[in-house]
A and B are shown apart, each in its own frame.
Chain A
Amino acid sequence: MDEKVGPSEMIVHLGPQHPMMPGPFRLNAKLRGETVVDSEVEMGWIHKGIEKILENKTYLQGITIVDRICYLAALTNEEAYVGCVEKLAGIEVPPRAQYIRVIMEELSRIQSHLLGMGEYASFVGFVSMFMYTIRDREDVMTLMDSVTGARVTHSFLRFGGVKDDLPEGFKDDVKRVFASLRKAVDSYEELYSSDEIYKSRTVGIGVLTAEVAKDIGVSGPPLRATGVAFDIRRDEPYLVYPDLDFKVCVQKAGDVYARVQVRLDEMRESMYIIEQCLDQIPDGPLFPEGTAYGRRTPVMRVPAGEVFHRVEDPRGEMGFYMISDGSDKPYRVKIRGPVYPTLQGLPPLIKGVKVADIVAIAGSMDTCTSEVDR
């Protein structure tokens, strides 16, 4: 951004402490009157050097660290990391463990969307919605808590399996929670679509066309809201997703309203996936039989090689590139987060909009700064 300001222009700094998103980030916007003429995002307020830390930790220790890349999608981060190691070492995950992973990851998607959507509603002045979504999110968190023993950072996946089996009565709990959650999601949709003020702040605002979105490299709900059905779960299946029936939720409009709508639909789809999993889940071991892998992972050396493994995060495409040199620590790990390109695409998106819409547009991307900074 050009730092020079012309007559009747000024630069407004939003952030780094700003309630606009979980985590600090700064947007320097150059305004002429109320209109944004130019802007720039400053990052790195919570850069913690995870890639360097991972190089200096053994593979098992790394699991706890990757949890903290994006704290709203800890399980999908783990899946990407563990998947890399499994591909390198050639570990086969038994079906029961795969189903449990899918169940947990979809639960994590639901809670992330609930938080992201509710928080977003509060940015456009719809604070009571935030209260509703947080209330329902607590139920989902309790479900996850009952399996993994943690609410945010789970450390649940292990190489070749998962740490624990589903607790007794989990299926009934899920049924009970989902019955009320389904109703809640319907009521959110009704609230959103019937609120005139909300609609006038979101419909037709921040429109992203499919070409621009592809050019920017966006993935996840913001991309699917433009009509591109790009979903790693379907395009590059991992775990047992090929055996499950689900559709990729898309919307045409590409505006803020469509993005929220995609998230609502995805929550319904996730609930459907989980119910299928609970019906289909076979009995069996949690770890590959006849190997050393188990709840206590052995000291392991991973064969030399390079691998890129990607999974579908609640926010889009999450990928890990791992280089192993045959020792017990990875040589290099690159984390490709979904929000990184999305946040980068913010300045062109808010060019020419009014100041009040910045928050609506930036919030609708459901960005997680911690993952951008790593």
Chain B
Amino acid sequence: MAVEQSDYEEVPGVILTDRNAISDFLKTTKAQDVLNWGRKNSLWFMVNAMGCCGVELLSTGMAHYDTDRFGIIPRNSPRHADVLIISGYVTKKYLPALKKIWDQMPSPKWVIAFGDCAISGGPFYESYSTRQNVDEIFPVDVFVPGCPPRCEALIQAFFELQKKIEAKQDRGTEY
């Protein structure tokens, strides 16, 4: 319905519905993009400090680096989390617990392998009690090398993850 030249007064910064803004937005934007946009901007991560890298994980989530501004918030419960960060060595004893954490997280969910230990075993690659090749067990999305990687590297990893989510064309069926 065409709206006549309005008798409304112009209010700066406010989109009036009769200007078709929202419907235009919905017409021109794919549902996929809306989904992806929502997902990529609320990447809550699970705080499970498992090794030296865990300290950097703690600092990243806190005041100085302040990842909250990107919608990246540390959570203590796996039920609230979207991203599992494997931050250190996975031992044979801890692996079942880590799998349980992964299973408890609601989809859609992602994994970041943070630090050399999670990628290749790091300095403990020949140890008798650590489990190597974690990427065969968890579907790792982003690898962050370093021992430990800096906090900035983790933020970069989240950006890479966001790009990955943005490019997703699954029509909301996957996960």
Chain B hits for A56, CB < 8 A: 126
A53 to B126 alpha-carbon distance, docked (Å): 8
Chain B 29-60: CB-based contact to A (< 8 A → 1; otherwise 0):
00000000000000000011111101110110
Is B128 part of the binding interface, using a Cβ–Cβ cutoff of 8 Å? yes
What mask results when residues 64 to 99 of chain B are scored 1 for a CB within 8 Å of chain A, else 0?
100000000000101000000000110101100110
Q: B130, A48: Cβ atoms under 8 Å?
A: yes
State which of A24, A130, A138, A153 has its C-beta within 8 Å of the C-beta of B50. Answer: A24
Contact between A17 and B59, CB atoms less than 8 A apart: no
Q: Is the CB of B49 within 8 A of A22?
A: yes
Complex Cα–Cα for A79 and B88 (A)? 24
Does A370 lie within 8 Å of B51, measured CB to CB? yes
CB within 8 Å for A47 and B93 given contacts A52-B128, A152-B52? yes
- Asked whether A65 and B76 contact (CB < 8 A) given A45-B97, A130-B62, the answer is no
A115 at the interface (CB under 8 A from B): yes
Secondary structure of the B contact surface, majority rule = loop
Hey, which chain A residues are within 8 Å of B93, CB to CB?
Answer: 44-45, 47
Contacts A17-B48, A71-B52 known; A45 to B94 CB distance under 8 Å?
yes
Contact B127–A49 (Cβ < 8 Å):
yes
Chain B hits for A16, CB < 8 A = 94, 97
Which residues of A54-92 have CB atoms within 8 Å of chain B's CB atoms? 56, 64-65, 67-68, 71-72
Shortest A64–chain B CB gap in Å is: 6
Residue B167 interfacial (CB < 8 Å): no
Residues of A with C-beta under 8 A to B64: 134-135, 138
Q: A17-B78, A24-B97, A151-B150 in contact; A47/B129 too (CB < 8 A)? A: yes
A286 to B34: give the CA distance in the assembly, Å.
60
Q: Give which listed residue, B47, B78, B97, B124, contacts A48 with CB less than 8 A.
A: B124
Knowing A19-B47, A22-B49, A135-B64, the reply to whether A64 touches B123 (Cβ < 8 A) is: yes
Q: Contacts of B94 on A, CB cut-off 8 Å?
A: 16, 24, 45-46
CB nearest neighbor in A for B126: A53
Are A48 and B48 in contact, with the CB atoms below 8 A? no
Q: Is A109 an interface residue (CB 8 A)?
A: no
Question: Which single member of B49, B58, B97, B124 contacts A49 (CB below 8 Å)?
Answer: B124
Q: In whole angstroms, how far apart are the Cα atoms of A137 and B37 in the complex?
A: 34
**A294 located at the interface, meaning its Cβ lies under 8 Å from any Cβ of chain B in the complex:** no
Q: Which residues of B contact A137 (CB under 8 A)?
A: 59
For B107-134 the 0/1 string (1 means CB < 8 A from A) is 0000000000000000110111110000
A-B pairs with beta carbons under 8 Å apart, 28 shown: A16-B94, A16-B97, A17-B78, A17-B101, A22-B55, A23-B54, A24-B48, A24-B94, A45-B93, A46-B51, A48-B127, A49-B127, A52-B127, A53-B126, A56-B126, A68-B52, A71-B148, A115-B55, A130-B62, A131-B62, A135-B62, A135-B63, A138-B59, A151-B148, A152-B148, A153-B52, A153-B147, A370-B51
Chain B interface residues toward A at CB < 8 A: 47-52, 54-56, 58-59, 62-64, 76, 78, 88-89, 91, 93-94, 97-98, 101, 123-124, 126-130, 147-148, 150
Given A19-B76, A67-B52, output 14 extra A-B contacts at Cβ < 8 Å.
A16-B94, A17-B101, A23-B51, A24-B94, A24-B97, A45-B91, A46-B89, A46-B91, A46-B94, A53-B123, A71-B51, A135-B62, A152-B52, A153-B148
Q: Which 10 A-B pairs have the closest CB atoms?
A: A71-B52, A134-B62, A138-B64, A131-B63, A19-B76, A135-B63, A45-B94, A49-B127, A22-B49, A48-B124
